[in-house]
């Protein structure tokens, strides 16, 4: 009897963790954004206690805070605020390229909202990030470069 209760509790706990990790829609898994760190980095809830730190592939937003090696940059706060407005508290889907992690252990991803909005692309297109291509993650490099040129020419975001 006690073993059955224990097994039932374990199944319920496993199901709860699976639900917290992400919702599946049309075979795609979505994760709730816990916290935006800056204009190109954020945390998702994957069901673990800590969550997962995600770094957007192909883009580089200006620094929004002083770190050991970098200082606050022009348009850094605006980029962070923009990403927070776009994804803060929302559910996102991650798409990977050749490398899944960077040298800091962050998950590298192309990120999509449930409505299909491609976040990496939107940041560049609207002038809140510039292109940063690090091979072998080059899937959208050409597209991002075209978008950055257009944002500069149209004086969007940081290019005003």
Out of 32, 55, 93, 125, the active site residue is: 55
Q: Is 63 a catalytic residue?
A: yes
Does residue 106 have an active-site annotation?
yes
Whether 55 sits among the annotated catalytic residues: the reply is yes
Other C-beta atoms closer than 10 Å to the C-beta of 121 total: 19
Q: What is the CA radius of gyration of the chain?
A: 18
Annotated catalytic residue within 32, 63, 93, 125 = 63
Strand, helix or coil for residue 16: helix
Check if the beta carbon of residue 84 is closer than 8 Å to that of residue 36. yes
Whole-angstrom Cα distance, residue 107 to residue 142?
A: 22
Contact of 86 with 113, CB cutoff 8 Å: yes
Quickly list DSSP for 94-143.
EE--S-SB-TTSPEEEEEEETT--BHHHHHHHTTSSEE--BTTB-TTHHH
Would strands 130-131 and 52-56 be described as parallel, antiparallel, or unpaired?
unpaired
Catalytic choice (32, 106, 125, 148): 106
Q: Which residues are catalytic?
A: 55, 63, 106
């Amino acid at each position: 009897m006690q073993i059955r209760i224990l097994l039932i509790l374990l199944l319920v706990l496993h199901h709860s963790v699976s639900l917290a990790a992400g919702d599946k829609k049309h075979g795609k898994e979505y994760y709730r954004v816990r916290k935006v760190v800056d204009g190109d980095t954020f945390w998702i809830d994957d069901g673990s206690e800590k969550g997962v730190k995600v770094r957007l592939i192909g883009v580089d937003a200006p620094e929004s805070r002083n770190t050991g090696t970098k200082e606050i940059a022009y348009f850094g706060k605006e980029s962070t605020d923009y990403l927070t407005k776009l994804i803060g508290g929302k559910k996102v889907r991650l798409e990977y390229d050749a490398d899944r992690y960077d040298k800091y252990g962050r998950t590298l991803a192309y990120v999509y909202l449930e409505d299909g909005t491609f976040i990496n692309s939107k940041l560049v297109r609207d002038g809140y990030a510039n292109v940063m291509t690090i091979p072998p993650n080059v899937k959208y490099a050409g597209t991002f470069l075209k978008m950055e040129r257009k944002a500069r020419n149209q004086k969007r975001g940081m290019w005003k």
